[in-house]
Chain A
Amino acid sequence: MENMPEFTLHRPDTAEEAAKLKASDDSSRYLAGGTDMIVNVRRGIEAPETMIDLTAIGEITQIAVDGDGLRIGAGVKLADLCVHADIVAKYPAIAQAAASVAGPTHRSYGTIGGNLCLDTRCLFYNQSQWWRESNNFCLKHKGEVCHVAPGGKRCFAAFSGDVAPALMVYGAEVDLVGPGGERTIPLPDLYRNDGMDHLTLEKDELLVSIRLPAPPAGSLSAYEKSRIRGSIDFPLAGCAVLLTSDGGQLSELQIALTAVNPFPQMVKGTDDFVGKPLDDEALDAIRDIVRTQAKPMRTTTVRPWYRRRVVGALARKLVMRLASV
């Protein structure tokens, strides 16, 4: 028998009920696919008294046409997302990002909602109870010190979901359900720059769906990640790009990053490249602004230096490829 802490499992069949259960116990946690949550429970990082399994909620498992866009239920499995005809045709970066999460088995039951609400990751945090105890725990959990930046009071654990940046370049919004009803916010607003508490979700809210507007006419998009192994690994850095180009000039450019900060982020300043020729100099400049805004820390076994270099290289490569220059 594997060691498992005790908790009470609930299996609500509506989102409202789930949110209500969540509100009733401060320690409670949602459980979707479980690819990340159960690992954390087994390691004692999460010790909920109540676990709310979301897999019985039928209403969040659909992908539906929503005006010109799409509405994706948070319970949609990543494996279904990456082969969905509309996603593949109109939102290729999302399909590519979903197809690159972990490995195929993880994707067959891991959900998009889980990937968006993934806990931040750090070498000093994603370890066993014995390990963390031996290391005096850390700022993010039970401890006083950040081992990544000792002396600091901030947590730099990296957000490592692949799908968020891909959704962001299309201007996605998310629907949240809570006891007070439903609200819709832009996806970037779901996150804050704090590795300890990176989600802006209220403790009694549940992310139920993602809304995608129609992609800009003529736009091209893609996602790529860096990792040591071609499967299973979390990204060391990930980059989504959407652009529209016209005769060697960009008319729109959106870049979003993951795994290089405690939150998935839109790269600022990409508008500066609109309406100008996309030459080598411009490509280098795009690479450099990405590198400046990425702030990876020593949260993985691979040096932050490389993650910053590679995220810029990925951005440059994707822009070049999409704009065919």
Chain B
Amino acid sequence: MKSYLSLQVNGRQRDDAVSGNLLLVDYLREVVGLTGTKIGCDGGECGLCTVLIDGKAQHSCLTLAATCNGKSVETIESLGDGGRLSAIQRGFHEKLGAQCGFCTPGMVMAAEGLLRENPEPDEETIRTEMASNICRCTGYVKIIEAVQFAVEELKSKKEAA
């Protein structure tokens, strides 16, 4: 049985008829066609599918699409700064927060969720608040540097404004 799903995906209104058992990650990747969000495990163990729902990080592989009715979902594809990388993305690029890049979309969204809530986290907070996300390439060292880079960039941007 399908139900009516009306939500915002990356700021755009979408209306779809979806089955109750459709996972949000499959909705995003296969119905909407946003394949930036990745799948790395069989459910909730790796964080690769992390998206923001009403601004908070959530596993799209454990979320039913239908439960997002009336909500706002943001994926990696929503980020950017006038066609260029956002501050967090720039941090991941310049500081080599991404190697193979497969955990990166989820990792960046987890960082996005964190910095919206806490724009100036210390290293310890970055570690604890991103610890649902697994990376197998970096040992996390450069991901932390990437987030710290973004914190500084956003801070100086704010000061300039």
Residue ranges of A at the interface with B (Cβ–Cβ < 8 Å): 1-2, 4-9, 11, 31, 33-35, 38-39, 42-43, 51, 53, 55, 79, 102-106, 108-109, 128, 230-232
Question: Is the CB of B30 closer than 8 A to any CB of chain A?
Answer: yes
Residue ranges of B at the interface with A (Cβ–Cβ < 8 Å): 1, 3, 19-23, 25-26, 30, 39, 42-45, 47, 50, 53, 56-59, 61-64, 66-67, 69, 110, 113, 128-133
Interchain CB contact under 8 A, A34 and B64:
yes
Q: Please give me the 6 A-B residue pairs with the lowest Cβ-Cβ distance, nearest first.
A: A9-B20, A103-B132, A231-B131, A105-B132, A39-B43, A38-B62
Q: Which residue of A lies closest to B23 (CB)?
A: A2
Task: Point out which of A31, A35, A38 has the most chain B C-beta atoms below 10 A from its C-beta.
Answer: A38
CA distance A79 to B56 in the complex (A): 11
CA distance A108 to B57 in the complex (A): 7
Residue from the list B1, B20, B129 in contact with A104, Cβ < 8 A: B129
Interchain CB contact under 8 A, A128 and B66:
no
Q: Which residue of A lies closest to B65 (CB)?
A: A9
Residue from the list A4, A6, A128 in contact with B23, Cβ < 8 A: A4
**Selected A-B contacts with CB under 8 Å, 22 pairs:** A2-B39, A6-B21, A7-B21, A8-B1, A9-B67, A34-B64, A38-B43, A38-B61, A39-B43, A39-B62, A43-B43, A53-B64, A53-B66, A55-B67, A102-B44, A104-B132, A106-B44, A106-B59, A109-B56, A109-B63, A231-B131, A232-B45
CA distance A1 to B23 in the complex (A): 9
Residue from the list B20, B25, B53 in contact with A7, Cβ < 8 A: B20
Interchain CB contact under 8 A, A42 and B42:
yes
Write the nearest CB–CB distance from A15 to chain B, whole angstroms. Answer: 17
Task: Point out which of A2, A42, A55, A106 has the most chain B C-beta atoms below 10 A from its C-beta.
Answer: A2
Residue from the list B19, B22, B39, B59 in contact with A105, Cβ < 8 A: B59
Interchain CB contact under 8 A, A105 and B30:
no
Write the nearest CB–CB distance from A107 to chain B, whole angstroms. Answer: 8
CA distance A51 to B22 in the complex (A): 12
The verdict on A53 contacting B67 (CB below 8 Å), with A4-B21, A4-B22 known, is yes
The verdict on A11 contacting B66 (CB below 8 Å), with A1-B30, A4-B22, A104-B130 known, is yes
CA distance A106 to B46 in the complex (A): 11
**Chain B residues within 8 Å of A8, by CB:** 1, 20
**Chain B residues within 8 Å of A108, by CB:** 56-58, 113
